[in-house]
Amino acid sequence: MKLNQFQNRAFTLMEIIVAIGIIISIVTSSLVLITLTINSTKSSQLRIVAIGLSQEGLEIVRNIRDNNWLNGRRAPSDWKQGLDPGDYRAQYNSLVLLSFSQTPLKIDNGFYQYDSGNNTLFYRKITIEHIDNNQIRVISEVSWNERGKNQTIKAETRLYNWLEES
């Protein structure tokens, strides 16, 4: 009878060890899943910001074109003033494109710019190409490094001089 009691205890101990192993596996799997979700969320947040910055680059160039129109520059040679072919940097609050350099955008009170604030991961390059007298191609490329991998978002548009002089 004593031998039988010892065997029952040993079997119960084995059940406990298996149960602990199962619990550890579940907890480990949950932690891995949580970590992957957090990393994916951070990656998605960075992509959303990059998409917004890329779109903003196109809007800045469009704003320069529209400002030229408002100032009466509608002729084929005038509407592209300030939009020479090349690579540029641009700020949301300026109608002047800056020569491109590998300068990171800074963030200050929620606004991305080059003047002040804390450096971010993002770099923006705006490329302008003249297609003909009434059309330009604009590419806004935002790049950043995420966990050792270079990431890039590109947006492209064509701007036309559809508001020609009458």
User: What ranges do the domains of the chain cover?
Assistant: 2-160
Question: What pLDDT does 82 receive?
Answer: 93
**For 36-87, what is each residue's pLDDT tens digit?**
888 777 888 999 999 999 999 999 999 999 999 998 888 877 899 999 999 9
The angle formed by the CA atoms of residues 94, 57 and 76, to the nearest 5 degrees, is: 75
CB 141 within 8 A of CB 128: no
Cα 6 from Cα 14, distance rounded (Å): 12
Provide the pLDDT confidence category of residue 23 given band limits of 50, 70 and 90.
very high
Backbone angles phi, psi at 108, to 5 degrees: -140, 115
State the amino acid at position 25 in one-letter form.
S
